[in-house]
Amino acid sequence: MLAFDASRPLHGGARFSLAGVDEVVIAEESLSEDLRNLTALARTRTPVTLVGETGTGKELVASAIHALSSRRGPYKAVNCASAARSLIESEFFGYVRGAFSGADRNHPGHIEAASGGTLLLDEILTTPPELQAALLRFLQQGEVLAVCGRTPIPVDVRVIAAAQISLERAAADDHFRPDLKARLEGFVLNLLPLRERIPDMGIFVAHELRAQGGPATMVGTLLTSRCRPPSGCFSTNGLGTSASWPAPYGEQAPSLPENRSMSSICC
């Protein structure tokens, strides 16, 4: 199993564009190299597991992996936690006409609909045991069997799983199948929340202000090498949040245009 850790703080301010998807703000040359490795990984069939809290960018990374791959099929993101348990098998594997009342036609499930492309299984740890068993069969055999179907359907799907805690921890607590964990963890990417990456704050805010038409001179100042941790040259006092920045970055970004008086940022 390969492991990639993107939890290291970023210092500086380079930007890395992932094949036309949203720009990712990075800084350290070593992290740039890691992202280039991610580019190479995207062109393989290796399954990927993304681990991090809500708001750490799991779906952005998943869509980037798909965009960087050579797969011509669709990118489909499914939140496993939102699936109705009574219908979960038909949602993922589809059903045939007459399978139940109201099934007046064949209907592909999420997996078949993503054939040729990439399927993100977000909140994978919320899946019930019966679905975990069915997902394992799909990953082992490369085919799905619709509800009340008689003939398995071959599919070619690159699976990316996402969870808020590691699959290893969930498996150790008997909340997740170890054999399914082994199938999903071809490559593991750990993402820390922004509150644990305070030295990066100025870089992210500068990037967002640039995107929203903020002062270019301020952006340029933030991205100089004079901002060095752990001196804490970035202060959140002017942004209406505590120094711990508890909310995900995506929830804070919309408030930034209202806080362009950035006297609390010093370098």
Give the pLDDT confidence score for residue 101 in this predicted structure: 81
What is the reported pLDDT for 210? 64
Burial class of residue 187 in the structure, from the number of CB atoms within 10 Å of its CB (0-12 exposed, 13-18 middle, 19+ buried) = buried
Cβ burial 120-136 (10 Å sphere, 16+ → b, else e): bbbbbbbbeeebbebbb
The per-residue pLDDT for 202 is 58
Q: Give pLDDT tens digits along the chain (267 positions).
A: 444 445 444 444 444 444 444 445 444 444 455 566 777 888 888 899 999 998 888 998 899 899 989 899 999 999 999 988 878 999 999 888 887 888 888 889 999 999 999 999 999 999 999 999 999 999 999 999 998 888 999 999 999 999 999 999 999 999 999 999 999 999 888 887 777 766 556 556 665 666 666 554 444 444 433 334 433 333 444 443 444 444 455 555 554 444 444 434 333
The predicted pLDDT at position 132 comes to: 96
Distance separating alpha carbons of residues 177 and 74, to the nearest angstrom: 28
List domains and CATH numbers for the chain. Answer: 2-190 (3.40.50.300), 197-259 (no CATH)
pTM above 0.85, yes or no: no
Are 124 and 165 in contact by the 8 Å Cβ rule? The answer is no
Residue/partner pairs of 201-205 with CB below 8 Å, 24 or more apart: 201/234, 201/236, 201/245, 202/227, 202/233, 202/234, 202/265, 202/267, 203/10, 203/11, 203/12, 203/13, 203/25, 203/27, 204/25, 204/249, 205/234, 205/239, 205/256, 205/265
In the prediction, which pLDDT does 157 show?
Answer: 95
